[in-house]
Each structure stands twice: as C-alpha cells, then as structure tokens.
Amino acid sequence: MWQYTDNLDAKDFTTSLYGGSFNSIQSNYQNVSNYIFNAEKNSDSNIILDNKQNNKTDELNNIVGSFESKKKSYSIDFNEIDKLKNFIFNTFNNEEIDFESTPKIKYIIDNISKEVGYSAIDVALINILVSKILLSDTNNIIKFMAFLSSMNDKDIPLTSVLSVTSLYVNKNISVKEKVLEMTEQWENPDMIEYLEMMDDFNRPHLQKYKLEVIEYLKDKR
C-alpha cells in the first residue's frame, strides 16, 4: 500500500525522483522506471483487459467500485492503480488523438475522476508515462502529449511536470515542438523555467515559437 497525499508538491516529487537535479533527467529514466516497476512487482495485479466495449464497461465499474471505499483516505493499492492504468492505456491506444480536438478519453477520465479522485488518475497517468510512453516511438509520445494537453494540468500535477521535465530534453525536434504546444495549452506560467532551459531550436520558426510561448505564459502570471 502506498499513501498518496494531496499536498505533495509536484516539483518536490520529481526532484526527489531525480535526486534534486533536473540536469540528469535522461540518465535517470531507468531509475524512475525501476521505481514504478518495483512498486508494481509488489502488487498482486493479474487483471487482463480486452478491447470489447461491454467488457470495458464492466471493468470500469469494477475499477470505480474498488476505489470507492478508499478514496477518502487516498490510500491506493497498486493492484487498483494497475487496473486503472490498464484501462486508461487501452482506451488511449484505441483512439486517434491530436492537438486540435478534445479526445473522448478526456471525458471518460473526467467521469472516472468523480469516483476515484484525480489523485488516483495522476498516479495512473504517471505510471503510464514512465512505463509505456517515454521510451516508445515519437508518434506515440506526441499522441500522449496531445492527450495530456486536453486535460487541466492542475488536476494532474505529477504527470504534467514529469512529462515536461522528461521530454523537453528529448533529442527529437518534433517532441520538443509538442512540449511547447502542450505547455501553451495548459497556460501554466510555472512551466516557463523548463522551457527556458530547453535547448534552442535550429529551425528559426520553432525558435520564434518557443519564445512566443514563453512570453505568452509570462502574460498569464
């Protein structure tokens, strides 16, 4: 059992994961993965989801039911987080998602959150980010960022900060471009310092865009 507290500061959390240094983020990917995987290993999760919609509905009801009794204390069993993670990830995989529209999965998560709380959603998403997304292909990373950008970053403080801190140093120019789009959608000035640490783009239109996003976020202070 792992205790999740609402007053856990996202920066403190990621700083503790990274040993206090944001500069060593990439080299610490594996440490973060191990952190999550070791925690999962200690659970008894053996749930297997299939893609049939009716079974998904049953599965969703089970997930919500299992969280219902515990949401007030925010004590989350990793077995339950695992079920939630699998449900969200399978739903994510089965939908086309881009930055121009609001994906259906966003509304599904909004509904689940009414029962389990956004704290549990945040833990499930950070688990997906670390175990399924960060080391996947560029298109999948961009799709996940499009999904995250549709959500309110204040609802998912751990996932939002970790997604930015882990991806703004990505070597792929498209991933970095989409980090800018994601933070611009969130309109969160707390992200400015990360964007300022992002390496400059060689392409002038992207460098100009980066500076515009930083200015835009400063206006939101």
Partner 1 sequence: MSVFYIRRIRTTVWDSDIPANDDPMLLGTNGVTNCCKTDKNQLSVWIVNNNDPDSYETKLVLSTIAGGSEKPSSISYVYIEDSELAAIGVTLKQTPGNTAISSKKNLHWDIEDLNMEKISKIGLLIQKKVYDNNQIHKKGAGKIKEYVRAVFPDGTPEAEDIKSVAGWCNIYNTK
Q: Does 137 bind partner 1 (CB under 8 A)?
A: no
- Comparing CB distances to partner 1, the nearer of 30 and 101 is 101
* φ and ψ of 7, to 5 deg: -90, 10
Of 27, 94, 136, 138, the one binding partner 1 by CB under 8 A: 138
- Give dist(CA 145, CA 129) in Å, integer: 10
Q: For residue 59, what are the contacts with CB-CB under 8 A and spacing of at least 6?
A: 47, 49, 83, 87
Q: Does 209 bind partner 1 (CB under 8 A)?
A: yes
Q: Does 142 bind partner 1 (CB under 8 A)?
A: yes
- Give dist(CA 178, CA 140) in Å, integer: 12
Q: Does 94 bind partner 1 (CB under 8 A)?
A: no
- Comparing CB distances to partner 1, the nearer of 51 and 136 is 136
- Look at residue 186 and give its three-state secondary structure: helix
Dihedral in degrees, nearest 10, Cα atoms 142, 148, 150, 152? -150
- Comparing CB distances to partner 1, the nearer of 81 and 217 is 217
Q: Does 83 bind partner 1 (CB under 8 A)?
A: no
> What Rg value do the Cα atoms of the chain yield, rounded?
17
Q: Does 136 bind partner 1 (CB under 8 A)?
A: no
Choose the binding region for partner 1 from 54-62, 106-114, 153-161, 197-205 (rule: CB under 8 A): 197-205
Q: How far is the CB of 136 from partner 1 (least distance, A)?
A: 15
Residue type, 206: L
| Token duo for residue 128 | 């997906």
Residues binding partner 1 (CB under 8 A):
99-102, 138, 142, 174, 177-178, 180-181, 184-185, 203-206, 208-209, 212-213, 216
